[in-house]
């Protein structure tokens, strides 16, 4: 393996965020307690959970953040890639970017360890991406496509667990087979993962096939893993109210959100029912985010800015389509002044909306009071406020159609049925053990 000379790898920041010495490597529940027992988590997302977005998300209730997915081999071998992804003077700062878990995708234990060693002083743990379902992950053999190679997964995690001074965690997806999902999770934990995040969708559920995460499977896994295991749930989070529902139904320690957070960071706000925190105005949130980007001025945040503009304003842009080409034609390399003009234009449009004498009557969140198959209710939210995104499946929005649920095929398996299968298997195993023991007792 070719690695860069040590002189090309920056030293960890020692400025106002002095690295804290650890007398011992914390594990499991002890480690979870040491970072404040977070309940709301920003998921690792490709190019979308960078520093500026993490700072914004923490202001709206996120208690733990993951970095974007970094490619371990490129992080080791390409100085340009490292500089684009990570700023050693700003990312992982104790003042505004902790607790923080850095996520890598990898298929080589040595590269993964080397990449993790470079950054272990700037974060609280290293996470292995076992959940990315995209085509690029299949081509590169990483993410969810390592689900076909349990031996390699075990080696990747164990190598970090044995050689890092900080913990290793893992984020996985489920199989349609409940028992196989359980054995998979147990293997990941046996290898050394201290936290496990389980996305309640299968590898095939992406894009047009996204469907619904299955909280019943998550509850089944929670019930059958060690009681003290730190367990995060991921999937089906649309509104702040869904956080408590997820924790109650899955008995998870915390809830992670990716897409829900991207379109509305207020999805994590549970301190009160403040509409401006739970469903912030697009103009206010856009301004707040833009000011953060300017203040930290990192390459990763600059590169991610256009994508965040589109996501923050996705519903707003369905009404004010004239802004789409303006944003699209503005480069991430354009001056901040060019982006400032866009922010000002959005502010002017929404300020006019608030001149409406009936604004108090229309600026409200309505519940349709219909319990959907995923257990919650859809809300009617003014287009000038941040809100969930519903992609179209076969030309129809997801919130207007029945969706496939992970782990439920033609024969719907319930958690009770899965437990019965497990009990039957255990009884069969006991019976076989008794037969063997009796045979051993027979004199030959």
Task: Note whether 63 and 322 are within 8 A (CB).
Answer: no
Give the whole-angstrom CA distance, residue 411 versus residue 247.
27
DSSP per position, 57-76:
HHHTT--EEEEEEEEHHHHH
Is 132 a catalytic site residue? yes
How many Cα atoms occupy the beta-carbon half-sphere of 361 within 13 Å? 3
Question: Sign of dihedral through CA atoms 27, 55, 173, 426?
Answer: positive
Smallest CA-to-CA distance from 385 within 270, 234, 274, 236 is with: 274
Residue that has been written with the tokens 């990315």 in this structure:
132
If we measure between CA atoms, which residue out of 178, 231, 202 comes closest to residue 414?
A: 178
d(CA 268, CA 38): 12
Cβ 173 vs Cβ 133: under 8 Å: yes
Tokens of 374: 């995923």
433 burial type by CB count under 10 A (0-12 exposed, 13-18 middle, 19+ buried) = exposed
Q: Please compute, for residue 67, the number of CA atoms within 13 A of its CA located in the half-sphere on the CB side.
A: 29
Structure tokens given for 231: 């367990």
Set 65, 132, 246, 252: catalytic member: 132
Q: Which residue do the tokens 């970095």 mark?
A: 67
Cα separation of 213 and 231, whole Å?
A: 16
229 sits in which H/E element:
none
Q: Which two tokens stand for residue 87?
A: 């700023």
Q: How far apart are the first and last CA of the chain?
A: 58
Contact 270, 64 (CB under 8 A): no
Active site amino acids: 132
């Amino acid at each position: 393996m070719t690695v860069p000379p040590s002189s090309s790898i920056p030293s960890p920041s020692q400025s106002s965020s002095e690295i804290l010495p650890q007398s011992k490597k914390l594990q499991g529940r002890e480690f979870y307690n040491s970072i404040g027992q977070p309940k709301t988590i920003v998921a690792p997302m490709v190019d979308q959970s960078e520093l500026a977005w993490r700072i914004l998300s923490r202001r709206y209730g996120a208690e733990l953040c993951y970095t974007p997915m970094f490619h371990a081999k490129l992080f080791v071998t390409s100085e340009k890639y490292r500089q684009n992804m990570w700023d050693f003077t700003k990312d992982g700062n104790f003042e505004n970017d902790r607790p923080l878990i850095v996520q890598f995708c990898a298929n080589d234990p040595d590269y993964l360890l080397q990449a993790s060693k470079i950054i272990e002083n700037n974060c609280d743990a290293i996470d292995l991406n076992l959940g990315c379902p995209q085509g690029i992950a299949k081509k590169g053999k990483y993410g969810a496509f390592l689900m076909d190679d349990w031996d390699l997964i075990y080696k990747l995690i164990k190598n970090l667990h044995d050689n890092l001074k900080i913990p290793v965690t893992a984020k996985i997806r489920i199989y349609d087979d409940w028992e196989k999902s359980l054995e998979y999770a147990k293997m990941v934990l046996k290898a050394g993962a201290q936290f496990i995040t389980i996305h309640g969708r299968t590898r095939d559920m992406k894009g047009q096939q996204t469907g619904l995460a299955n909280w019943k499977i998550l509850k089944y896994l929670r019930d059958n893993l060690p009681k003290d295991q730190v367990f995060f749930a991921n999937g089906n989070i649309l509104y702040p109210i869904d956080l408590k529902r997820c924790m109650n139904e899955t008995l998870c320690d915390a809830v992670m959100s990716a897409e829900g957070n991207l379109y509305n960071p207020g999805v994590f706000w549970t301190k009160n029912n403040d509409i401006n925190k739970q469903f912030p105005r697009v103009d206010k949130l856009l301004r707040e985010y833009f000011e953060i980007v300017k203040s930290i001025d990192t390459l990763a945040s600059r590169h991610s800015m256009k994508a965040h503009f589109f996501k923050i304003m996705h519903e707003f842009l369905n009404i004010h389509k004239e802004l789409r080409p303006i944003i699209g034609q503005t480069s991430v390399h354009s001056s901040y002044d060019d982006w400032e003009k866009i922010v000002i234009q959005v502010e002017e449009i929404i300020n006019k909306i608030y001149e409406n004498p009936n604004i108090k009557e229309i600026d409200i969140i309505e519940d349709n009071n219909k319990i959907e198959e995923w257990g919650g209710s859809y809300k009617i939210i003014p287009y000038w406020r941040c809100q969930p995104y519903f992609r179209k499946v076969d030309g129809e929005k997801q919130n207007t159609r029945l969706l496939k649920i992970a782990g439920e095929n033609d024969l719907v398996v319930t958690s009770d049925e899965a437990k019965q299968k497990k009990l039957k298997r255990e009884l069969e195993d006991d019976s076989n053990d008794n037969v063997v023991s009796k045979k051993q007792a027979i004199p030959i």
